[in-house]
Amino acid sequence: MAATIALPALASTAAVADPPPKGVTIDVVTVNGTGCPIGTVAIALSADSSTFTITRSGMRADAGGTSNPADARKTCQINLKVHVPQGYSYGIRSFGYSGTAHLEPGASGTVKVSTYFQGEPKPEAKTVTRNGPFSGPWRTVIIDENPKYSPCGEQRNFNISAGVHVDLGTSDPSKPSYMTLDGKEVYEFSWKRCPIT
């Protein structure tokens, strides 16, 4: 079952988003971690610059059965340079991510994702947990009605930090459990014009 998490915003401070500007581009600066070997992550910007999509493959945590202890936790850090036309700033209004899992009774799987601008403290991760018995796809959408915007007039890279962990708990250790973070993640921009100085 898909889950939706809405982050509350103060109506008095919520900004009205502007239309996407022209000339936006995204460069991948670094991709690091046990959960994203070379060639397993791709980034695509929509034609109207309203969203970008991350496609992952192979980010999977395994526990039990013949798996190694190190396989129970996988991480991935993606650092992006979003080139924004002068006079604009951006935030992330929403993003959705998904995967599959097979969790034996007593086992659990957790996915954590954090998004933040370079130079800022890493925020509390958005967390998805599935408890066994569970077998099938999962999906979560995060909605932020009052997003954090990039500083006007500064180039700050955008970080996406993700982790997948499977805990055997009280499950039979001879039986394998797994959870993945894969497929397409769609990130929706929120654009605004910077004050004229």
Percent of the chain scoring above 70 in pLDDT: 91
**Sequence spans of domains, the chain:** 3-10+25-191
d(CA 184, CA 197): 39
Residues 167, 159 contacting (CB under 8 angstroms): no
111 has pLDDT over 80: yes
Q: Average pLDDT, whole number, for the chain?
A: 90
22 has pLDDT over 60: yes
The class that CATH gives domain 3-10+25-191 is mainly beta
pLDDT tens-digit series, residues 159-193:
999 999 999 999 999 999 999 999 899 999 999 99
pLDDT of residue 5: 37
d(CA 66, CA 68): 7
**Of 118-122, 133-137, 139-143, where does mean pLDDT reach its minimum?**
118-122
Confidence of residue 63 (pLDDT cuts 50, 70, 90): very high
d(CA 157, CA 81): 5
